[in-house]
Amino acid sequence: MKRAILISLGTVAGTAAVLGYHPGTWFASASPSSTDAAPSAQTFTGDAVESGYGPVQVQITVEAGRITDAVGTQQATDGRSQQIASYALPQLEQQAVTSQGAGIDGVSGASYTSAGFQQSLQSALAQAGLG
């Protein structure tokens, strides 16, 4: 008799659990809800630094405390210096994202541009609270 009661109670409990199940709701507290906002990206622009051949300025994008993008927004405008900057800036931008800071190697043949980029990057990092 006790056995029949236990089996009946187990059947009722199991049926209630199956009928009450709604996919995706049992573990809702463990996963982020739709009201949780993802960290938004912020942009910081460093000081324009005179490199000796024109100003260099860097703008970084920071998301969740990490540099996701770095862009040289100002560069030299005269012929040869502009050529050097157009060659060096993409490499410097990549170095900034890879190093996640101002500890960049610079670019051979673009010493002044590299130094100006690094100073402006440090300024942008300070604004972002990362340096």
Q: In whole angstroms, what is the distance from residue 75 CA to residue 114 CA?
A: 11
Read off the pLDDT of residues 36-86 as tens digits, 9 standing for 90 and up. 556 688 889 898 988 777 888 899 999 888 888 888 887 766 677 777 778
State yes or no: pLDDT of 7 exceeds 80.
no
Read off the pLDDT of residues 14-24 as tens digits, 9 standing for 90 and up. 565 555 555 55
Q: In whole angstroms, what is the distance from residue 15 CA to residue 125 CA?
A: 59
Please report the beta strands in the chain, taking only residues with DSSP state E, as ranges in sequence order.
42-45, 49-50, 55-63, 66-74
Q: In the chain, what are the domains?
A: 42-128 (3.90.1010.20)
pLDDT band at 123 (very low <50, low <70, confident <90, very high): very high
Q: What is the pTM of this model?
A: 0.66
Kind of pairing, strands 42-45 and 49-50?
unpaired
